Structure 1
Amino acid sequence: MYGKLATYDVLGVPITVTTITQAAQTIEAWAQDDVGRFVCIRDVPSLMAINGDSAIRDLHFEAAMITPDSSYIALIGQLRGLPVEQTSGPDLIDLVAQRSIENGMSHYFYGGREGVAQELAEIFIRRYPGFRVAGAECPPFRELTGAEDEAVIERIKSSGADVVWVGISSPKQDVWMRDHYKHLPQTLIGVGAAFDFHTGTVKRAPLWMREARLEWAYRLAREPRRLWRRYLIQAPKFVFMVARSALWRRLAMAPKPGDSCK
């Protein structure tokens, strides 16, 4: 689990070939050393947002793992014959938390609105007795000063945490992880809105809708004014771009006229 993980390309981003259980096992294996790493979790809107930003797209090549937060991104891998399943931030953090009761991993929560990180830590302590919290804090909604940033890194470094859950909006959290992982001995995992889902600040779609790949419809119905462009314009554009990429790949692999075995 320490070597480079297998990936498949989706719009120039190397998505890791993994199931959610394998992702949790990999994170647990990384907790056994003091090497800083970071994990990105990508859904369709975030892929579309970074598609035209080469700097943000390129930071993904430094990530130790990039899991598919969208069932549609996982489906692309499945259609290529790969053993991939949706590995979302809310589900991954819950599974790792549950498993950590047996392996003793400790957790640091960084992000969310004021008090949310602390509330999330308390929720997991109640949900999984014996759950270990190394720290929880919410950064201010402004750029940190150099001194403040250094203090955050020192608190995380000295906390004894095995894993750091980062709940900041994307791509801000991805840039933060890329800029800091080399200075920390933990695995950083950007889970975005998972803090809000688990604390109930934002309602998540029912399980049956998630299993039917309809979570987008639930979110659109709840926040149409904010999300209509994301799901009614960006999502169809994503399908078109993926289909075009697949066509180009198939054409590139097709035998050229005159090619023959000799």
Structure 2
Amino acid sequence: MIIRTVDKSKIPTCNILGVNIAAINMEWLLHYLKENIENLAGDYICVSNVHTTVISYEEPEYRAVQNGGILAIPDGGPLSTIGRKRGYENMARTTGPSLMEEVFKVSVERGYRHFFYGSTEETLKKLYTKLNESYAGIAIAGIYSPPFRPMSDEEDKAIVEIINASKPDFIWVGLGAPKQEKWMAAHQGKVNGLMIGIGAGFDYYAANIARAPEWMQNNNLEWLYRLIQDPKRLFKRYFHTNTRFIWLVARGK
């Protein structure tokens, strides 16, 4: 069992629909990771947005997962907007893909090692190639595409051993929400690295999909750009969670 030695109580948070969203910005987060990465092994970071926050409000078990890691960062623009209105003036949108980019930029200098867990073998191979092209010398400790079925205890134990043997600093988990957060919670204290649930981050860096233009990101419209790219999969999700979020916040929840 890997025991966390970082004091979670020192992280500023804003409770939104029951989820303790970190009231931070990217500068704060990068400094925090730089200072504490060795002590964060075995813990996890949730990249939280409107979708995951509404699910957390509706499902207590998932809410416990969101609150059970070291951080739940405000990937969704509306979360940081609410935080600032509540007095957290420095709280800003801190997206998963942007966090990946900032960490990749300094990985060679700081000797960070990365393990990528999730997605398909095809996407992981493209991701491996693209990262080596963009960040020469980056240490990719391992990649693993899990089967699209429940894994046996023996299979799970084997992949934990593979991850730990690779000695990663960061374990990027791309299974999609809420699966990736549940996976991280189930492996808290078992893997020797910091887990970060990154959602579509693998697809962005494998160049399977493009990120929204910067002006859309800055105006909390990245969800719309993603919806245009994949309407069949995302329309139902956004229609339910976005409207539900607005309704709950309007009611003072």
Task: Tell me the TM-score normalised to structure 2 length.
Answer: 0.91
Q: Is the 2:74–2:93 Cα contact (8 Å) retained in structure 1?
A: yes
TM-aligned CA deviation for residue 230 of structure 1: 3.0
**Cα 1:139–1:26, aligned 2, differ >3 Å: closer, same or farther?**
same
**C-alpha distance in 2 between matches for 1:232 and 1:56:** 20
TM-aligned CA deviation for residue 225 of structure 1: 3.3
* Other structure's SS at 1:203 match: coil
Q: Is the 2:107–2:113 Cα contact (8 Å) retained in structure 1?
A: yes
**Cα 1:130–1:228, aligned 2, differ >3 Å: closer, same or farther?**
same
TM-aligned CA deviation for residue 34 of structure 1: 6.8
TM-aligned CA deviation for residue 46 of structure 1: 1.8
**CA displacement 1:13-32 (0-9 Å, x = unmatched):** 00011111222222233322
**C-alpha distance in 1 between matches for 2:235 and 2:146:** 29
Matching residue of 2:149 = 142
TM-aligned CA deviation for residue 58 of structure 1: 1.1
**CA displacement 1:138-192 (0-9 Å, x = unmatched):** 1111111111100100011111111100011111111111111211221100001
| Structure 1 ranges of 4+ moved more than 4 A | none
Q: Which amino acid aligns with 1:78?
A: R
**Cα 1:213–1:163, aligned 2, differ >3 Å: closer, same or farther?**
same
The number of aligned residues is 246
**CA displacement 1:205-249 (0-9 Å, x = unmatched):** 111211122222222233333333333443122112113226xxx
Larger Rg: 1
Matching residue of 1:23 = 29
Matching residue of 1:128 = 135
Q: Is the 2:55–2:62 Cα contact (8 Å) retained in structure 1?
A: no
Matching residue of 1:57 = 63
* Other structure's SS at 1:160 match: coil
The worse-fitting range, judged by mean Cα deviation, of 220-229 and 207-216 is 220-229
**C-alpha distance in 2 between matches for 1:181 and 1:30:** 17
Give unmatched runs, 5+ long, in structure 2: none
After superposition, the CA RMSD in angstroms is: 1.8
Q: Is the 1:177–1:188 Cα contact (8 Å) retained in structure 2?
A: yes
Instruction: Establish whether residue 93 from structure 1 lines up as the match of residue 100 from structure 2.
Output: yes
Q: Is the 1:116–1:138 Cα contact (8 Å) retained in structure 2?
A: no
Instruction: Establish whether residue 195 from structure 1 lines up as the match of residue 202 from structure 2.
Output: yes
* Other structure's SS at 2:211 match: coil
Give unmatched runs, 5+ long, in structure 1: 247-262
Task: Tell me the TM-score normalised to structure 1 length.
Answer: 0.88
Query: Which of residues 160, 166, 169 in structure 2 aligns to 1:162?
Result: 169
